[in-house]
Amino acid sequence: GIQVEQSPPDLILQEGANSTLRCNFSDSVNNLQWFHQNPWGQLINLFYIPSGTKQNGRLSATTVATERYSLLYISSSQTTDSGVYFCAVVASTSGTYKYIFGTGTRLKVLA
């Protein structure tokens, strides 16, 4: 089945720094999402981005489906950005769809 790998697994930043999180997937996918899991455990939708580039405030994401990767950019990081970032892809096999999550990048932003 499809493998989804995220890097780096852990990241510590000083407030105000920029960062890039990467999501690689091993086969073609129908779509891709980025989530932020806050300290209370809820997964917050950041981007639905099967291809192309999107921006939302200090966050932006780019997916290059032909090369099987997606990048999440965080600029001017804040302590509230701390948490775990997941990418998830949807793959179809024999007409059924499955959501596959990466293992996450744990981000800590220091004041």
Partner 1 sequence: DVKVTQSSRYLVKRTGEKVFLECVQDMDHENMFWYRQDPGLGLRLIYFSYDVKMKEKGDIPEGYSVSREKKERFSLILESASTNQTSMYLCASSLRPGVAASYNEQFFGPGTRLTVL
Binding site for partner 1 (CB under 8 A): 30-31, 33, 35, 40-45, 48, 50, 86, 88, 90, 92, 97-99, 101-104
For partner 1, the closer CB: 12 or 44: 44
The amino acid occupying position 40 is W
Cα–Cα distance for residue pair 5/75, rounded to 1 Å: 22
N-term to C-term CA, the chain: 41
Task: Give the residue with the Cβ less far from partner 1, 36 or 77.
Answer: 36
Q: How far is the CB of 103 from partner 1 (least distance, A)?
A: 5
Task: Write down the least CB distance from residue 111 to partner 1, Å.
Answer: 26
Distance CA 37, CA 6 (A): 15
The residue length of the chain stands at 111
Q: In angstroms, what is the minimal distance from the CB of 18 to partner 1?
A: 26
